[in-house]
Structure 1
């Protein structure tokens, strides 16, 4: 009879203790692909996208960077921390068994509840006890914690994927910069040689009283400018070598091992014509944002479950005795089992505040995701625009270079027939070398913008065939 009364009382307590959850819905909506103007076209993700540049040294450097980079190592460590937290949350769903033992030598006071012969004397108090506790999770609080921890693991893994993409694109951009510096050194060498030739020609004219000191100073200034351009290109190359070594986790001993790049600036990889519809499902940072939304949703469920009773099963079994002589007697046995319930009655508004905070955290996660989506769409669109613009600019610069080459050839013909001046040929040569220097910069920009597009798309893309007209106006 007493047991039935206890069960009935527990049931009534459960029903009465279901506190009302405040009506506090989320206020931020999650953006969808159609809302940001993505097309229905897909794109293929290449996990080793850098191989599209066909440079074995770049392949090696990226592989090294992905194997030993502090930024990536930190992201992987955070992923392991999240996995460990998930293990802790999962263990909370299982029965917990512990064992406690104690032997305390204690004097019992005369002025207390202890009767003689214990009062005024000291005795050992010993106990050994096994305890069992099992949270029944009737309202899903533990399940929500596990769901949130699982989402955190996914977010941390995606953060690591984003770090991999960042490391690989950083190495590739530095490598393109190195190739640019190498080619600019070659162009500068041609500048220096040509301007030394010009200065020698001016000196010869001064000896023959056909030129003035003004022309000599002008030639010297042009030579100094050419030498300065080479000095800057060499310094830029050294800085990029240092950057590449740091990105792959190496030091100064690695500098001499970095050879000249073999990038084919004349044949940049093709790019897609439109943004892919799966952009939101391919960028690791956006996927990590989605996982954090899932974690925030689970956190809101946890805050909601805190309004409800928490019921668990408690059990114990062991021995306890006053004095060591009777510790293992049958009378020293102790055991017990039964339900335990925690009921929130008055929390001073704490639970409501926690629930509102969890709802606000969900809104923040959604807003952060939406902001990242808009940024991703803009970055991708900007990268496509830069690629198209740089390709067009490069094609136009090729025509400039081709025209200046023809001008230099015709001037040489004029000089050889006595119809032109050697100064005209040298001046055209200056302009040609400057145009070639600008062409190298534009070609490297075309590669850099492609790498930025790769990063904006989440890593790689499926090349689309170029329009027929794209090559018609591009000089060989």
Structure 2
């Protein structure tokens, strides 16, 4: 054949695809279409529930009643505003050493580890195996005698080293969705840890405020014992002078006994509160014995920021964590949805295998394989359908939980604000009552010493003064605790910089598109 003919023939051969390649180019799309057509149908679960938006919560009138000044969002370290170094030290100890904080950090670490583990599915998986052995070939396994001379005789060493590589193409985003879900859960765990810090700091501050109340109550009880003891001495003296009956003396003596009981109860309550504070900071009860009397600054007037009704969802770690769990549940619906479609993985194996370790890495000892592996879900007895419906149910539950946390958050702000305002008004009245009762008691006590009033009148006014003092101390604690409750309800200084309340509260529909 002429050279030109040979050249033309060669050129034509290279320009046309081989028949096998042509067949594959036709078969691959057809196979893909067949696989998709054979997949189990994805059930239609209807429209998903939408998380509650701040604009849907009516709270403007409750958060800003007429005549109330505008407030500020609490800052980090809000407890320092009380101006008590002992309280500052207790909160610092608690945040550093409380078992509750350690448990929250452990949950955070576990969530982060799960996110890393889930993310590994997006990357190629590489395993290397190897082994050596001593083997002996049976010469009587159906081989003709003529071949026995060519079989390895006796015991021989053998070896194998292989690398196995697998990669999931993740065509439907299953691994990416699983990783997104794990990341959302990990972030929620971070927020849970921050919320645990706020809860602990608020609990320590609240217990410390109650310790202050108990010190004030003990003062009242101790003063009561002093007064009743002095009155008892005076009553005995008046009896000796014929100015008092034995019944009056007995009554005065009973009052002294009751005052001792009340003082003992106050001491017991103080000791128990010291123990509680020590436990809250993660220390033994001896830590509580070292506590001195609190020196708290007066509480500020209750107020909330003017944008609280909209920004509250981004200012509370528990609400942002709940939103993160909604996003995680949405991603898990995508994971369950992907199981209805074919999974394609690329697998490759390469290694060395030989009978005789000396030839293990010889070029003729290589072996391997490479190619795709396709998994097509056709019939699983309803398992995929149930898994998908379960993921959607988890999402619905996460949305309901989120809505509950949001509603509870708004309620807590309104409750704390209401209690702070009304308790403050009652405290002003209680302080006026203490001043009036003290003045009346001083007058009647002077009249009693001068013989112009009965001991019964003294007891009545003394009891009224004691009740007024206890009421004022209790209301002072209520006002301060309401202040702490308001700080906690407003997030305690937390702010989510990534949160845009209107957008972040509406995760993308995981069941459509």
Same fold (TM over 0.5): yes
- Residue-by-residue CA offset, 1:169-218 (whole Å, 9 max, x unaligned): 11011101111111111111110111111112221222122222221222
Task: Say whether residues 1:165 and 2:209 are aligned partners.
Answer: no
- Residue-by-residue CA offset, 1:59-96 (whole Å, 9 max, x unaligned): 11001100111111111111111111111222221222
Which SS does the other structure have where 1:384 is aligned? helix
- Residue-by-residue CA offset, 1:318-345 (whole Å, 9 max, x unaligned): 2112333433332111233222222222
Task: Say whether residues 1:380 and 2:399 are aligned partners.
Answer: no
Q: Would the aligned equivalents of 1:89 and 1:146 in 2 still touch at CA under 8 Å?
A: yes
Task: Say whether residues 1:271 and 2:302 are aligned partners.
Answer: yes
Task: Say whether residues 1:195 and 2:195 are aligned partners.
Answer: no
Which SS does the other structure have where 1:17 is aligned? helix
- Residue-by-residue CA offset, 1:216-264 (whole Å, 9 max, x unaligned): 2221222222211211111111111111111111113423321111114
Task: Say whether residues 1:15 and 2:29 are aligned partners.
Answer: no
Find the partner of 2:104 among 56, 75, 81: 75
Partner Cα distance (1:291, 1:388) in 2: 34
Find the partner of 1:350 among 373, 383, 401: 383
Task: Say whether residues 1:294 and 2:327 are aligned partners.
Answer: yes
- Residue-by-residue CA offset, 1:136-186 (whole Å, 9 max, x unaligned): 222111110111111011110011011001110110111011111111111
Report the counterpart of residue 434 of structure 2 in structure 1. Answer: 401
Q: Would the aligned equivalents of 2:108 and 2:193 in 1 still touch at CA under 8 Å?
A: yes
Distance 1:398 1:237, change over 3 A: same
Q: Would the aligned equivalents of 2:354 and 2:360 in 1 still touch at CA under 8 Å?
A: yes
Q: CA deviation at 1:6?
A: 4.2
Q: CA deviation at 1:4?
A: 4.7
Report the counterpart of residue 5 of structure 1 in structure 2. Answer: 23
Task: Say whether residues 1:92 and 2:87 are aligned partners.
Answer: no
Q: Would the aligned equivalents of 1:26 and 1:359 in 2 still touch at CA under 8 Å?
A: no
- Residue-by-residue CA offset, 1:274-304 (whole Å, 9 max, x unaligned): 7822222211111111000010001001111
Extract unaligned runs of 5+ from structure 2. Answer: 1-18, 65-70, 495-513
Distance 1:414 1:291, change over 3 A: same
Report the counterpart of residue 239 of structure 1 in structure 2. Answer: 272
Counterparts of 1:6-405 in structure 2, within 5 Å, are 6=24, 8-18=26-36, 19=39, 20-25=41-46, 27-39=48-60, 43-108=72-137, 110-111=140-141, 116=148, 117-118=150-151, 123-264=156-297, 267-272=298-303, 276-277=308-309, 278-405=311-438
Distance 1:153 1:7, change over 3 A: farther
Q: 71-80 or 116-125: which moved more?
A: 116-125
Q: Would the aligned equivalents of 1:179 and 1:261 in 2 still touch at CA under 8 Å?
A: yes
Tell me the number of residue pairs that the alignment of Structure 1 and Structure 2 aligns.
459
Q: Would the aligned equivalents of 1:25 and 1:359 in 2 still touch at CA under 8 Å?
A: no
Structure of larger gyration radius: 2
Q: CA deviation at 1:352?
A: 1.2
Q: CA deviation at 1:460?
A: 5.3
Q: Would the aligned equivalents of 2:235 and 2:249 in 1 still touch at CA under 8 Å?
A: yes
Q: CA deviation at 1:9?
A: 3.5
Which SS does the other structure have where 2:181 is aligned? helix
Report the counterpart of residue 464 of structure 1 in structure 2. Answer: none
Q: 290-299 or 221-230: which moved more?
A: 221-230
Cα RMSD after superposing both structures: 2.6
Q: 19-28 or 119-128: which moved more?
A: 119-128
Which SS does the other structure have where 2:122 is aligned? coil
Which SS does the other structure have where 2:405 is aligned? helix
Partner Cα distance (1:416, 1:356) in 2: 84
Which SS does the other structure have where 1:92 is aligned? helix
- Residue-by-residue CA offset, 1:382-424 (whole Å, 9 max, x unaligned): 2222112211111111121121123234436656887555764
Which SS does the other structure have where 1:348 is aligned? coil
Report the counterpart of residue 450 of structure 1 in structure 2. Answer: 483
Partner Cα distance (1:25, 1:125) in 2: 61
Distance 1:321 1:4, change over 3 A: farther
Partner Cα distance (2:30, 2:263) in 1: 88
Q: State TM-score, norm by structure 2.
A: 0.83
Report the counterpart of residue 474 of structure 2 in structure 1. Answer: 441
